[in-house]
Structure 1
Amino acid sequence: MENYINRCIDSILAQTFSDFELILIDDGSTDKSGEICDDYALGDSRVKVAHIKNGGVSKARNTGITLAKGDYMMFCDSDDFVERNWCSLLYEAIKEGGNTLPVSGIKFIYNIREQNKEIIKVFPKKMTLDKCKYFETYKKGLSGSLCCKIYDTNIIHEQSIYFDVSVNRGEDLLFNLSYMSHMDSFTTVPIITYNYVHSNQYSLMNSYRKDLIEINVLVYNAWLDYFKKHNIYSKQIEEFATYYYLNFLNVVKNTFDKRNKDILIKKLIFNNHILNSKEFKECIDLADMSKEDSRYIKLLKTNNYYLVWFAEQVIKVKNLLRMRK
């Protein structure tokens, strides 16, 4: 991250709110990132650096949690950067009182190969909503992210809320659901405070994942456990299942990513396993499918992906023939 780390650190040190400690975790970097972090520590007493053996993002964040001394805690990834009011706005929101988790907006910046675009995700106004409505952050694309939130350090330490080191995707959401179980509400801050940059085509977010189904199943069950734990009415579970149905379809599509070198029959067997999973069956039964193609849904409910794939190939051929006419 040596090409991005300066921009990240400079944006944090430039905050309008200055009473903080900045903990930089060097997770066994092999470039000059660790040296750059040490240089900042020499120039600013607020900067603390921990050099650890590479163990992944969850282990790195857990290290930061154990070292943190502040009353509140925020997270930032090394290739991103923040607005000058990142700390102040979220700090003001949590200091207003109440057992709440503040959530601000994010600007997603995509700079991958020829792709350059920005996507804004933010709530339209300031609201304090009961934790039973935390799914609203999922619909906004803000549920899993750590970077647009501020956490009570005492609650994290007292409740031993840490990241699961065995998971390297979806771990943020698992952390947030665990934390939200100890909150009464979440508060929306309708301002962009964080810039989430997708610039590395080889990053975890942009790479083909063989284990994507395991990750989605893990997160799916975590959400259902959250709903059941807090007695959330069935309508919200139906809404969640409708959203998550699309996630399962993305997993099926992921199997045919060109970076997957498996032969066709292995891909078909893999996707057939997905359609026969307890989670997919439960999801498609709970979801509202009134706006979906009823014929396609019937195919999916056969739990026979070979049949689904064959029907898709027939449609492709028909469309190709129409284009040639």
Structure 2
Amino acid sequence: MNKCSVDLISVIVPVYNVEKYLRRCVDSIVRQTYSNLEIILVDDGSTDASGTLCDDIALEDSRIKVIHQPNAGLSCARNSGLEIYTGEYVCFIDSDDYISPDYIKYMYELCILAGCKMAFCNSLTTSEDNCSVVLDSGIAPKTYTNTELLDAFYGPMHGNITVAWNKLIHRSIVGDIRFEPHILHEDEATTFKFIYNAGIIAYTDNVLYYYYSRPESITGKSFSARNLDILIGYKRRLEFYLEHNETELYNREYSYYLSALLINYYKVYKNIDDNKALLRDLHDRYKMLYNQADKSTITGPRRLLLAICVHFPLLYGILR
């Protein structure tokens, strides 16, 4: 495909204390079969040798740019990259992960062939350093409308839909969207906006992204009050669907958010000492949300369970 070598594609890599994994990540990017790349490494105030390593790696490849900034979190690091990227498309790679050699070329071609401006791929969680899954040419790509994909969010594809790091996004889709700063689970509050703006999205079930599982990563740590940041994403989606008159998505998110409040109530009860204030806050948020919306969209048995949980919120967690 001739156009394959024309469009500049930007790759934004937030970097924080990953000196053991950074070179593997960057090597997987510079060795892409699609070569017209702008690679932006954002050193987010690393306290190990990651910042120096970014500078050293940049000397090896003219396509690499480095930003150094005080530590502000993953969202702010990605946003710093979004402020300076110049590519026609952009993608995000976490610095302890790595990608298939065909990751960018494959998804770029998906966009061209499907006539769309966003594509995403299947991913594999691994603890191996050099995982490689052979591409299956027999796997036919799929396309979704934005509302179809956002509805699929509530099913088995949730993990691949909600994250930002397995997606290639045209700059017209990104616009002025930025990741919400200073929270965990920032993708929950942001990626759905890219999907909604895209209109049509292409997907391949081929595994092109390798999510590296390590105990010291954010997602590998035990439950704490900061994990409640995930509820911000649910709230943002609910507000967004209401604002855009997406009634069906609003109703799905409403039920999902209610359940999430109860699940996290149970997690706080089980995992956090001195939890009374957190439990009261979650209970009050649940009760307010339950009382404010049309519950006729929820099935009778589930509506009864959720009503009971207004008074006995632990019940939902126990039943789960």
**TM class by smaller structure:** 0.7 to 0.9
Q: Distance in 2 between matches of 1:242 and 1:108?
A: 28
Shift of 1:14: 1.9
In 2, the alpha carbon distance for the partners of 1:45 and 1:80 equals 22
Tell me the equivalent position of 1:262. Answer: 274
Supply the distance in 1 between the matched residues of 2:219 and 2:294 (Cα, whole angstroms): 26
1:93 aligns with 2:93: no
Q: Which residue in 1 is equivalent to 2:286? A: 275
> Between Structure 1 and Structure 2, whose CA radius of gyration is higher?
1
Unmatched tracts of structure 1, length 5 or more: 112-123, 316-325
2:27 counterpart residue number: 10
Kindly indicate whether the alpha-carbon contact (under 8 Å) linking 1:99 and 1:185 is maintained by their aligned counterparts in 2. Answer: yes
TM-score, structure 1 normalization? 0.76
Instruction: Choose the corresponding residue for 2:311, options 279, 301, 304.
Output: 304
Match in the other structure for 2:134: none
1:304 maps to amino acid? H
Q: Which amino acid aligns with 1:145?
A: V
Question: d(CA) in 1 for partners of 2:46 and 2:184?
Answer: 20
What residue is the counterpart of 2:136 in the other structure?
none
User: 2:298: which partner in 1?
Assistant: 287
The runs of at least 4 consecutive aligned structure 1 residues that moved more than 6 Å come to 310-313
Measured after TM superposition, the shift of residue 193 of structure 1 is: 0.9
- CA 1:221–1:238: 2 relative to 1, 3 Å: same
Check 1:256–1:281 CA distance in 2 against 1; reply closer, same or farther (3 A cut): farther
How many Å apart are 1:56 and its aligned residue?
1.3
Kindly indicate whether the alpha-carbon contact (under 8 Å) linking 1:245 and 1:283 is maintained by their aligned counterparts in 2. Answer: no
The 5-angstrom pairing of residues 35-50 of structure 1 reads 35-50=52-67
Whether the 8 Å CA contact 1:245–1:284 is kept in 2: the answer is: no
SS at 2:119 equivalent:
strand
Question: Given the superposition, is the C-alpha separation of residues 185 and 231 from structure 1 closer, same or farther in structure 2, using an over 3 Å criterion?
Answer: farther
- Alignment correspondent of 1:69: 86
Report the equivalent of 1:169. 184
Structure 1 segment 1-325 matched on structure 2, within 5 A: 1-96=18-113, 98-109=115-126, 125-135=140-150, 136-139=152-155, 140=157, 141-156=159-174, 159-165=175-181, 167-201=182-216, 203=218, 206-213=221-228, 215-216=230-231, 218-234=232-248, 236-258=249-271, 260-262=272-274, 265-266=276-277, 268-278=279-289, 282=293, 286-288=297-299, 290=301, 296-300=305-309, 303-305=310-312, 308-309=313-314
Name the Cα RMSD after superposition. Answer: 3.2
Whether contact under 8 Å (2:37, 2:63) holds in the other structure is yes
The count of residues paired between Structure 1 and Structure 2 equals 289
Distance (Å, rounded) in 2 between the aligned partners of 1:186 and 1:152: 11
Counterpart residue identity of residue 128, structure 1:
T
Residue type at the aligned position of 1:35: T
Q: 1:254 to 1:202 in 2, by over 3 A?
A: farther
Judged with a 3 Å threshold, the aligned counterparts in structure 2 of structure 1 residues 66 and 293 are, in CA distance, closer, same or farther, namely: closer
* Aligned-partner SS, 1:250: helix
Change (3 A) 1:31 1:226: same
Which whole-Å deviations, capped at 9, do the CAs of 1:46-78 have from their partners, x for residues lacking one?
221111111111111111112212211110011
Q: TM-score if structure 2 supplies the norm length?
A: 0.77
Percentage of matched positions with identical amino acids: 25
Contact kept in structure 2, 1:27 and 1:52, CA below 8 Å: yes
8 Å Cα contact 1:79-1:197 kept in structure 2: yes
